[in-house]
């Protein structure tokens, strides 16, 4: 798929020319399940995203065509117009969240496609939300700042897609900068760009080809566990607003007051905050061994404490260790998707070959391989 194919599809559907907008998916080097706990995340935008051709149509209706699904959907802009198709709800939700903030928008025609692998933990949904939030902001001259555009995408997930996600995915999609990762404090929304071009290393994603569904109760249950642990700690320490504000000493004070499951979830989150800070410090020193060690630490925590890994992800993580890969961990919400791997270039070919062979022998198919290029965020093309 390419931009010319998108423009042709739009013209075939609507008989007009269009303006093209794009927003990327993202990786997250470290800092998982910390965003909704007020902690740090360390994402970067990637060279895969959602591409949408859009033209205002002067009506109060949206005519949308998904090239990937080869489906069309027409819907209005009032709450009762919620479309049945799940992919259309992301666009509808963005429109409604813009309106809820007091801005006026009208109908438009759109055709769109994505090259972010679905279900691989690279946040195709946030890329979709960010594309339309950015585009509508531009086309209707709304002058909404990028932070609020990110919140519009997040609110779309919460209110129209059933996922109580944090802000990281939408933030990364909108604020991405080529050659840089971003450390975001999800409590204060303060962020800093860090140059990321590790000489002698490659960043590669290995896709289990196991699809996860973040709207499932498992994701939301973990958030509830964190909120419960945080509330218990805050009762003794009022300065704790988010779980990431807490220390292990504070968590141990309420050990007997909370379920063991809630304790494990909180232990992971508190440890993950420190791992992010350790990685930022290590990158400034060029210390990739520490970066890799912390990535393995995150995988252990997500597998054993937060329990969002799975047999396939753990297998790929074990293979990475066996092959001498510097760092490897599950990336994204979990329950499938990808591992993100920091690999020395001279080990890369052997690692990929071994991973394909051993994974195929165990699960009957090879993992998909995605090399990562850190790229710019939402923009008009």
Considering 197, 217, 240, which residue would you say is the last residue of a domain? 197
* Residue 376 domain-assigned (yes or no): no
244 and 283 co-located in one domain: yes
177 and 49 co-located in one domain: yes
CA distances from 152 to 134, 147, 167 (A): 10, 9, 10
254 and 164 co-located in one domain: no
Identify which has the larger pLDDT, 293 or 179: 293
Q: In the prediction, which pLDDT does 215 show? A: 42
Q: In the prediction, which pLDDT does 235 show? A: 95
Who contacts 292 (Cβ-Cβ below 8 Å, separation ≥6)? 325, 326, 327, 328, 342
Residue 210: domain span:
201-371
20 and 137 co-located in one domain: yes
- Maximum pairwise Cα distance, the chain: 66
Dihedral, CA of residue 337, residue 343, residue 345 and residue 348, to nearest 10: -50
With a pLDDT cut of 70, the percent of the chain lying above it is 97
Considering 164, 181, 197, which residue would you say is the last residue of a domain? 197
244 and 127 co-located in one domain: no
Q: Is the pLDDT of residue 1 over 90?
A: no
Q: Is the pLDDT of residue 251 over 90?
A: yes
Question: Got the DSSP string for 280-337?
Answer: HHHHHHT-HHHHHHHHHHHHHIIIIIS----HHHHHHHHHHHHTT-SEEEEESSSSSS
What CATH number is associated with residue 141?
3.30.230.10
| pTM for the predicted model, two decimal places | 0.84
On whether the CB atoms of residues 16 and 56 are closer than 8 A, the answer is: no
With a pLDDT cut of 90, the percent of the chain lying above it is 77
Who contacts 204 (Cβ-Cβ below 8 Å, separation ≥6)? 340, 341, 343, 348, 352, 369, 370, 371, 372
* Residue 379 domain-assigned (yes or no): no
| CA angle (177, 155, 313) in 5-degree steps | 65
* Residue 303 domain-assigned (yes or no): yes
- pLDDT, tens only, 330-344: 987 778 888 999 999
Looking at every residue in the chain, the average pLDDT score rounds to: 92
Strand duo 108-114 + 61-66: pairing: parallel
Q: In the prediction, which pLDDT does 334 show? A: 77
> In which band, very low, low, confident or very high, does the pLDDT at 115 lie, cut at 50, 70 and 90?
confident
93 and 211 co-located in one domain: no
Structure tokens at 152: 């519009």
Measure CA of the first residue to CA of the last residue in the chain; give whole Å.
Answer: 15
- pLDDT, tens only, 287-314: 999 999 999 999 999 999 999 888 999 9
- Mean pLDDT, residues 236-263: 94
Catalytic residue annotation: 169
13 and 142 co-located in one domain: yes
173 and 223 co-located in one domain: no
Q: In the prediction, which pLDDT does 335 show? A: 80
> In which band, very low, low, confident or very high, does the pLDDT at 2 lie, cut at 50, 70 and 90?
confident
Q: Is the pLDDT of residue 318 over 60?
A: yes
- Mean pLDDT, residues 155-175: 87
Residue 109 burial (CB count, 10 A): 22
Among 198, 171, 197, residue whose Cα is nearest residue 45: 171
42 and 186 co-located in one domain: yes
- Mean pLDDT, residues 199-212: 87
Among 122, 117, 191, 41, residue whose Cα is nearest residue 340: 122
Among 241, 186, 155, residue whose Cα is nearest residue 31: 186
Task: Return the top range by mean pLDDT from 27-36, 179-188, 263-272, 365-374.
Answer: 263-272
* Residue 331 domain-assigned (yes or no): yes
226 and 281 co-located in one domain: yes
193 and 240 co-located in one domain: no
Q: Is the pLDDT of residue 191 over 80?
A: yes
- Mean pLDDT, residues 201-227: 82
- Mean pLDDT, residues 22-35: 91
Among 187, 158, 179, residue whose Cα is nearest residue 89: 158
- pLDDT, tens only, 119-128: 666 578 899 9
- Mean pLDDT, residues 155-166: 84
Among 331, 225, 236, 212, residue whose Cα is nearest residue 268: 225
- pLDDT, tens only, 40-91: 989 999 998 999 999 999 999 999 999 999 999 999 999 999 999 989 999 9
- pLDDT, tens only, 120-151: 665 788 999 999 999 999 999 999 999 999 99
- Residue 365's φ and ψ, nearest 5 degrees, are -160, 155
> In which band, very low, low, confident or very high, does the pLDDT at 214 lie, cut at 50, 70 and 90?
low
137 and 164 co-located in one domain: yes
**Burial class of residue 376 in the structure, from the number of CB atoms within 10 Å of its CB (0-12 exposed, 13-18 middle, 19+ buried):** middle
Q: How far is 29 from 258, CA to CA, in rounded Å?
A: 31
């Amino acid at each position: 798929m390419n931009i010319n194919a998108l423009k042709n599809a739009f013209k075939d559907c609507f008989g007009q020319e269009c303006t093209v907008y794009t927003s990327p998916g993202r990786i997250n080097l470290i800092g998982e399940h910390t965003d909704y706990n007020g902690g740090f995340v360390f994402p970067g935008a990637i060279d895969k995203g959602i591409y949408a051709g859009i033209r205002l149509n002067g009506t109060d209706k949206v005519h949308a065509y998904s090239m990937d699904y080869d489906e069309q959907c027409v819907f209005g802009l009032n709450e009762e117009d919620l479309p049945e198709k799940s992919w259309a709800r992301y666009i509808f939700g963005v429109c409604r969240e813009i309106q809820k903030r007091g801005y006026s928008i009208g109908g438009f025609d759109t055709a769109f496609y994505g090259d972010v692998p679905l279900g691989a933990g690279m946040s195709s949904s946030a890329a979709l939300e960010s594309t339309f939030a950015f585009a509508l902001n531009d086309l209707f001259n709304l002058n909404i700042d990028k932070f609020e555009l990110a919140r519009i995408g997040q609110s779309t997930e919460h209110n129209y897609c059933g996922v109580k996600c944090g802000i990281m995915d939408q933030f990364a999609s909108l604020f991405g900068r080529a050659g840089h990762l971003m450390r975001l404090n999800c409590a204060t929304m303060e962020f800093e760009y860090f140059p990321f071009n590790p000489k002698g290393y490659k960043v590669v994603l290995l896709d289990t080809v196991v699809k996860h569904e973040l709207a499932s109760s498992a994701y939301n249950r973990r958030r509830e566990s964190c909120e419960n642990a945080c509330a218990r700690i805050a009762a003794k320490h009022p300065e704790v607003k988010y779980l990431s504000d807490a220390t292990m000493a504070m968590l141990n004070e309420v050990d007997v007051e909370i379920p063991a499951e809630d304790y494990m979830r909180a232990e992971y989150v508190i440890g993950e905050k420190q791992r992010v800070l350790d990685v930022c410090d290590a990158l400034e020193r060029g210390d990739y061994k520490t970066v890799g060690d912390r990535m393995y630490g995150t995988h252990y925590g997500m597998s054993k404490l937060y329990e969002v890994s799975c047999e396939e992800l753990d297998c790929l993580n074990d293979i990475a260790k066996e092959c001498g890969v510097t760092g490897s961990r599950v990336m994204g919400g979990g329950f499938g998707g990808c591992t993100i791997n920091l690999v020395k270039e001279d080990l890369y070919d052997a690692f990929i070959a071994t991973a394909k062979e051993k994974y195929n022998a165990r699960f009957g198919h090879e993992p998909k391989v995605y090399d990562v290029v850190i790229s710019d965020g939402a923009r008009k093309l």
